[in-house]
């Protein structure tokens, strides 16, 4: 966990530094944009992230929109695709942008918790009973969203924890079960 936290801090620092470096380095000029092939390659690189529950729950069209949004942010921050791809911490930088985009999406709509924890998956795992109405599911996901706010303080801390920490996985599992209790009675 500590290693991942250090990697995240370094990645965030790199992004901040790159913003300042681009003011002084001509290769960061906005004239050098990615071509369609480079954008397609960047979107394909994001396919590896489909294993995350939130992204896995997206339809293909929704994932295309998500990956295009991430590619836009990456291109904006690193206009030279060649320099971006050759950057030593490219994977960490992509991870930071992916997490920030997920956080932004979840903040926009707390009911997006259903994408992180799909109802069918929760039923098959024995967390929720089968046959909950849409209203009951909404109640469950609102409980979960409130739990995330109370326990993690922010959606960003929650997403980082869900991706990078096995301890946070235990905390999240307890939240999932605690919110489900009323639906088993």
Does the pLDDT at position 10 exceed 70? no
Q: Which two tokens stand for residue 27?
A: 């290769």
pLDDT value, residue 44:
85
61 in the same domain as 122? no
100: containing domain: 2-108
Instruction: Pinpoint the alpha helices (H) of the chain.
Output: 2-21, 36-45, 53-56, 60-77, 81-86, 90-108, 113-116, 119-124, 134-152, 155-164, 166-184
Are residue 76 and residue 96 in the same domain, yes or no? yes
101 and 119 inside one domain: no
Report pLDDT digits (tens) over 96-150. 899 888 888 777 566 678 888 889 999 999 999 999 998 899 899 889 888 888 8
Q: Please check whether residues 53 and 84 belong to one and the same domain.
A: yes
Instruction: Give the contacts of 4 (CB within 8 A, at least 6 positions apart).
Output: 164, 165
Q: Decide which of 48, 79, 108 is a domain's last residue.
A: 108
156 or 19: which leads in pLDDT: 156
Q: Give the pLDDT of residue 111.
A: 66
Q: How far is CA 22 from the centre of its chain?
A: 26
Cα separation, 52 vs 71, whole angstroms: 18
User: d(Cα 84, Cα 39) in Å, to the nearest integer?
Assistant: 12
- Give the C-alpha separation, 29 to 5, whole Å: 31
User: Do 101 and 17 meet the contact criterion of CB atoms below 8 Å apart?
Assistant: no
Contact between 4 and 164 under an 8 Å Cβ cutoff? The reply is yes
Mean pLDDT of the chain: 79
Within this chain, do residues 136 and 176 fall inside the same structural domain, yes or no?
A: yes
Q: Dihedral, CA atoms, 176, 178, 183, 185, nearest 10 degrees?
A: 150
Residues 31 and 54 reside in one and the same domain: yes
- 88 and 172 assigned to the same domain: no
CA distance 82 to 35: 11
- Domain tally, the chain: 2
Output the CA–CA distances (angstroms, integers) from residue 147 to 96, 142, 158, in the order listed: 24, 8, 10
pTM comes to: 0.58
């Amino acid at each position: 966990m500590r290693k991942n936290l250090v990697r995240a801090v370094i990645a965030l620092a790199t992004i901040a530094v790159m913003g300042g470096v681009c003011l002084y380095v001509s290769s960061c000029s906005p004239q050098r944009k990615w071509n369609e092939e480079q954008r397609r390659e960047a979107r394909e690189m994001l396919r590896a992230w489909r294993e995350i529950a939130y992204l896995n729950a997206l339809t293909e069209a929704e994932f295309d929109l998500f990956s295009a949004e991430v590619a836009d942010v990456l291109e904006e921050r690193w206009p030279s695709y060649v320099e971006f791809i050759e950057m030593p911490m490219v994977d960490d930088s992509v991870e930071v942008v992916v997490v920030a985009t997920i956080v932004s999406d979840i903040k926009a709509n707390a009911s997006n918790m259903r994408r992180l924890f799909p109802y069918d998956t929760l039923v098959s795992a024995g967390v929720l009973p089968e046959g909950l109405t849409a209203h009951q599911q909404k109640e469950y996901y609102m409980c979960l969203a409130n739990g995330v706010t109370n326990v993690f303080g922010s959606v960003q801390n929650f997403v980082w924890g869900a991706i990078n920490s096995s301890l946070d996985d235990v905390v999240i599992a307890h939240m999932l079960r605690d919110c489900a209790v009323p639906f088993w009675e």
